[in-house]
Amino acid sequence: MTITQKLSMEQLQRVFLAHEGEEVSLQQLAEECGLGSSRALAEAFSALLKLPFTEIPEEHRVERELIALVPEQIARRYTLIPFKKENQHALTLVMANPLELDAIDTVRALTGLEIHKTVGVEEDILRMIDQSYREEAFIDESLQDIVSLEEEIELDEDHDSDRVEIDQLKHLANDAPVIRFVNLLLMKSIEDRASDIHFEPAEKQVSVRFRIDGILREVTPPPRSLYPAIATRVKILSELDIAEHRLPQDGRFKFKVHGRIIDVRVSVLPVAHGEKIVLRILDRDALLVDMADVGFEPDMLADFHRILKMPNGIILLTGPTGSGKTTTLYSALSFLKNPELNLQTVEDPIEYLVDGINQTQIRPAIGLDFADCLRSILRQDPDIIMIGEIRDLETAQIAIRSSLTGHLVFSTLHTNDAPSSFSRLIDIGVEPYLMTATVKLFIAQRLVRKICPKCKEEVLPLKSQIDLVKHHCPDADQWTYWHGAGCLECNQTGYLGRTGIFEFLEVTDELREKVNNGQSQIDLREAAIECGMEPLAHNGFMKVKKGITTIEEVLRVAQLG
């Protein structure tokens, strides 16, 4: 028997009218309606009123902007929680009792927004109210403590807050509110899956932004006048010089969250109104993924495995900063890691420490560069060498020499696509015949955001977008397209997580001949495609066809051509 067969709308309304004006729990009402739980009652509301039913995950956190729209006392009085904001004109609520018309009128009057209703389980909504408003109170309390601390600072009239005495600044940086604020940001960065935290001081304010799935998003900022204390706190954690404000500084520290050790790489850069600080969050668990999860197509992965098993040669990954090259490199090294092999890396800096791999960080300040490290490493009997980046001719020559003497070498280049790597190496002075004799594979890489599986739905793109896709995939007008509508799981973005798109260029005899003959970059690209290379945009559109990502995401990161 279905819920709608067991319970009619008239029966439901009679039960509510019988208790009008009384303090009666939804659990009691559910029992009087003949339903076993508040979940069953919520499902009955959803079925009878034809309203969406919303499942709220335990780990979900409501956005600060939404919490600010609905006061806690209103949320508790009517057992509701703000769910999402649509087009700046409508607010969706998750309600335990959608028949509460007073609740809709109250929230509409408070927000000035059109109200859309969904139904949720009472216990889940109460849990979210406790969690969301408590976290909001904790943030406000931390900020209020910092504001109170700010009021205690006595500054010389001739000096602004950026010129506080070093001793006083150090004292403030070690004060509980500042420590708590920095700790809170670090915790939130992990919960929100952020890869970076940006502190950016302006003349009268400071902004704090998280980079989540490659996109920067603003979070709650501290008062501008307390930013020097917060910056000093970060410097203390990183063991940097707190008295130096004129020169860039780099450092790192670790913190523990949920039993995991998280490495943080710190970069401090002087700017017009203070020091900009970027914290790179290095989560080893997020990095060490199986190669199959990086985003390679099955046939591409099989070819990659085949090349990785070659006894010597050079494999080069190309792409801009933040394109996932490090993840791919370490995934390849993890695939090759074996007690019978000596794996050695030279990095700038070491981003992740991995057991079973010998890692060395270059230190240009003391004269230890890539070339010096590589010369020493070759005396350490390595089997496989990973070089953080080939930046100059000397490093390239040592990599080539290592390959010619029986080593497998991994490294990166900064080029826009795989075929232009030939030109890049020639530009830094590598002889074409040496390059073609040693390089086995170029991989160009970008990261695209994946559609959130919780709110994934069909969508019809614009005709102009489909026409762009048809340039690479003639059957694009026959595909089914998807996007994320926005939900609690993805924080209303429609995207959750990222995956790679690739140009996979294996150096064939035909390509070697064209490079040695001095063919142009355009000719080399055309020849690479003829030899089976799938262009970056085409690989991205194949992920659009499979419903993994969207046209907008591919166009955001890949050149069409």
- Which H or E element spans position 449? strand 439-451
Q: Does residue 339 have a pLDDT over 60?
A: yes
Ranges 20-29, 74-83, 228-237, 394-403: which has the least confidence: 20-29
Q: Please report which confidence band the pLDDT of residue 66 belongs to, taking 50, 70 and 90 as the band edges.
A: confident
DSSP 382-443: -SEEEES---SHHHHHHHHHHHHTT-EEEEEE--SSSTHHHHHHHHTT--HHHHHHHEEEEE
Q: Assess contact for 536 and 300: CB atoms under 8 A.
A: no
| pLDDT attached to residue 331 | 87
Integer Cα distance of 60 and 450 in angstroms: 19
Q: Does residue 541 have a pLDDT over 90?
A: yes
Q: Please report which confidence band the pLDDT of residue 287 belongs to, taking 50, 70 and 90 as the band edges.
A: low
Helices (H) and strands (E) in the chain, counts: 23, 18
Handedness of CA 548, 551, 552, 558 (dihedral sign): positive
DSSP 3-state of 508: coil
Integer Cα distance of 543 and 550 in angstroms: 8
Integer Cα distance of 439 and 408 in angstroms: 10
Q: Please report which confidence band the pLDDT of residue 32 belongs to, taking 50, 70 and 90 as the band edges.
A: low
Q: Please report which confidence band the pLDDT of residue 5 belongs to, taking 50, 70 and 90 as the band edges.
A: very low
Q: How far is CA 290 from the centre of its chain?
A: 18
Q: Distances in Å between the alpha carbon of 52 and those of 44, 98, 128, 361, 416?
A: 11, 11, 18, 54, 45
Q: Distances in Å between the alpha carbon of 123 and those of 79, 216, 247, 322?
A: 9, 33, 53, 41
Integer Cα distance of 261 and 395 in angstroms: 33
pLDDT tens digit string along 165-191? Answer: 566 666 666 666 788 788 888 888 888
Q: Residue 473: how many CB atoms within 10 A of its CB?
A: 17
Q: Assess contact for 53 and 42: CB atoms under 8 A.
A: yes
Q: Does residue 51 have a pLDDT over 80?
A: yes
Q: Does residue 298 have a pLDDT over 70?
A: yes
Q: How far is the first Cα of the chain from the last one, in angstroms, to the nearest whole number? A: 59
Q: Assess contact for 265 and 195: CB atoms under 8 A.
A: no
Across the range 279-298, mean pLDDT stands at 78
Q: Please report which confidence band the pLDDT of residue 471 belongs to, taking 50, 70 and 90 as the band edges.
A: confident
Backbone angles phi, psi at 103, to 5 degrees: -65, -45
Strand pairing report for 439-451 and 495-506: antiparallel
Q: Please report which confidence band the pLDDT of residue 30 belongs to, taking 50, 70 and 90 as the band edges.
A: low
DSSP 3-state of 513: helix
Q: Does residue 262 have a pLDDT over 70?
A: yes
| pLDDT attached to residue 153 | 43
Q: Assess contact for 315 and 441: CB atoms under 8 A.
A: yes
Q: Please report which confidence band the pLDDT of residue 441 belongs to, taking 50, 70 and 90 as the band edges.
A: very high
Q: Assess contact for 503 and 539: CB atoms under 8 A.
A: yes
What is the amino acid identity at position 256?
K
Backbone angles phi, psi at 456, to 5 degrees: -65, 130
Instruction: Note the pTM of the prediction, 2 decimals.
Output: 0.67
Q: Where do the H-state alpha helices sit in 153-276?
A: 166-173, 176-191, 227-238
Q: Assess contact for 333 and 315: CB atoms under 8 A.
A: no
- Which H or E element spans position 251? strand 249-257
Q: Does residue 466 have a pLDDT over 70?
A: yes
Residue that has been written with the tokens 């670790």 in this structure: 254
Q: Please report which confidence band the pLDDT of residue 458 belongs to, taking 50, 70 and 90 as the band edges.
A: very high
Integer Cα distance of 44 and 6 in angstroms: 9
Ranges 51-60, 402-411, 491-500: which has the least confidence: 51-60
Integer Cα distance of 518 and 514 in angstroms: 6
| pLDDT attached to residue 7 | 53
| pLDDT attached to residue 400 | 93
| pLDDT attached to residue 157 | 39
Q: Assess contact for 472 and 541: CB atoms under 8 A.
A: yes
Residue 421 Rama label (left phi>0; alpha psi -120 to 50; beta): alpha
Tokens of 508: 């064939």
| pLDDT attached to residue 240 | 92
| pLDDT attached to residue 404 | 92
Q: Does residue 461 have a pLDDT over 60?
A: yes
| pLDDT attached to residue 3 | 44
pLDDT tens digit string along 267-276? Answer: 999 999 999 9
Across the range 59-66, mean pLDDT stands at 73
Q: Where do the H-state alpha helices sit in 153-175?
A: 166-173
Q: Please report which confidence band the pLDDT of residue 350 belongs to, taking 50, 70 and 90 as the band edges.
A: confident
How much is the mean pLDDT over the chain? Answer: 83
DSSP 3-state of 492: coil
Integer Cα distance of 399 and 392 in angstroms: 11
| pLDDT attached to residue 163 | 46
pLDDT tens digit string along 524-533? Answer: 999 999 988 9
